[in-house]
Each structure stands twice: as structure tokens, then as C-alpha cells.
């Protein structure tokens, strides 16, 4: 069964719903970046996880991330959707590059 944080959207198979984390407005050197210089977020917090992909035997392969994990994902992967005024990205598990350590 899919796990989520009370969202009105449930991902299927190995899909994951991620809410993007905004880019920093200031660099490590102290330079402030204008809005047009910021890149689209590639980091986000997992908000919902699908039940996993079916393997050749018809069994579900569990997804390796869970709700609340902070992840790094590919820049152009997935689809952007808006639910209740909040923008989310729906990604396949393969689009997730890394999980940040807690």
C-alpha cells in the first residue's frame, strides 16, 4: 500500500511524490542571488511513496526511500503537478540520485 503524508494524490508502482526545496538565496561566499539566477530545485522532501514495482514473478519490489527522506533527483526527470496550491514532482525511483543522511 502507498504511504503518504495526508496528500490527495497516491503514487502508483515505483513512483514517488516529492516537494521541492527552494535553492539558497545566498552563496557560501556571501553573494546574494537574484531570482532569475536560481536553478530549479533538485532536492526535495518525499511526501508519498508508491507500493513498488512488480517484478517478473508478480511480486512487489519495495521502494528504497520513505516519506520524510530528503532526496536529490535528476533535473529534468519526472512530472510537475500542483495539488491544493502546492507544487510537487512525481518521479520514478530511478530518477532519485541520492538520499541525504539524517
Q: Between 1.10.275.10, 2.30.33.40, 1.10.1270.20, 3.40.50.300, what CATH number should domain 3-25+32-99 receive?
A: 2.30.33.40
Neighbours of 33 (CB within 10 A): 13
Domain ranges of the chain: 3-25+32-99
- pLDDT tens, residue order, the chain (102 aa): 455 557 788 999 999 999 988 755 656 676 666 655 555 668 999 999 999 999 999 999 999 999 999 999 998 888 999 988 989 999 999 999 999 987
Residue of 19, 21, 15 whose CA lies nearest to 81: 19
Q: How far is the CA of 34 from the CAs of 20, 37, 42, 44, 81, in angstroms? A: 19, 5, 18, 21, 25
Amino acid at each position: 500500500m502507498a504511504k503518504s503524508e495526508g496528500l490527495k494524490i497516491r503514487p502508483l508502482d515505483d513512483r514517488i511524490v516529492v516537494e521541492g526545496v527552494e535553492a539558497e538565496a545566498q552563496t557560501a561566499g556571501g553573494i546574494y542571488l537574484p531570482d532569475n539566477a536560481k536553478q530549479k530545485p533538485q532536492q526535495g522532501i518525499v511526501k508519498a511513496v508508491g507500493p513498488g514495482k512488480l517484478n517478473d514473478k508478480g511480486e512487489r519490489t519495495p521502494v528504497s526511500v520513505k516519506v520524510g527522506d530528503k532526496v536529490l533527483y535528476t533535473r529534468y526527470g519526472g512530472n510537475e503537478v500542483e495539488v491544493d496550491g502546492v507544487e510537487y514532482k512525481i518521479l520514478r525511483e530511478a530518477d532519485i540520485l541520492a538520499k541525504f543522511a539524517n
